[in-house]
Amino acid sequence: MGNQMLLVALGTRMYDLTSSTWDLGLVGLAQFVPTLLFTIPAGQLADRVDRRLVLSLAIIVQLFAAVLLAWEAPRDSWDAT
C-alpha cells in the first residue's frame, strides 16, 4: 500500500510541476523499466542471499526515494511565495 502511495505521489508531483502528460508518462515508464529489468536478477539474488536482506535493501531504497520527495516538496512551495 505504501509503495502504491509513493508511485501516485511521484506522478502527481510531476504533473503539478510540469502540467505535461508526456512527462507524466515518462515517470510511469521510468517506474516500469527497472521492474522489468531487475525481476529475474532479483529472483536469482533472493535464491542465493538471505531474502530478508534483499527485501530490507529494497525497502531502504524506497524509503530514500520517499524522503527525497518529501524534502523537495515543501522547499519548492516556499519558492513560490
Total structural domains within the chain: 1
- Express each pLDDT in 24-52 by its tens digit: 888 888 888 988 888 888 888 888 999 89
- Express each pLDDT in 5-26 by its tens digit: 878 888 888 888 888 889 888 8
**Residue indicated by cell numbers 531504497:** 61
Cα 6 to Cα 63: distance, rounded to the nearest angstrom: 10
Residue 20 in grid coordinates = 505535461
Higher pLDDT: 78 or 40? It is 40
Q: pLDDT value at position 48?
A: 92
Q: pTM to 2 decimals? A: 0.57
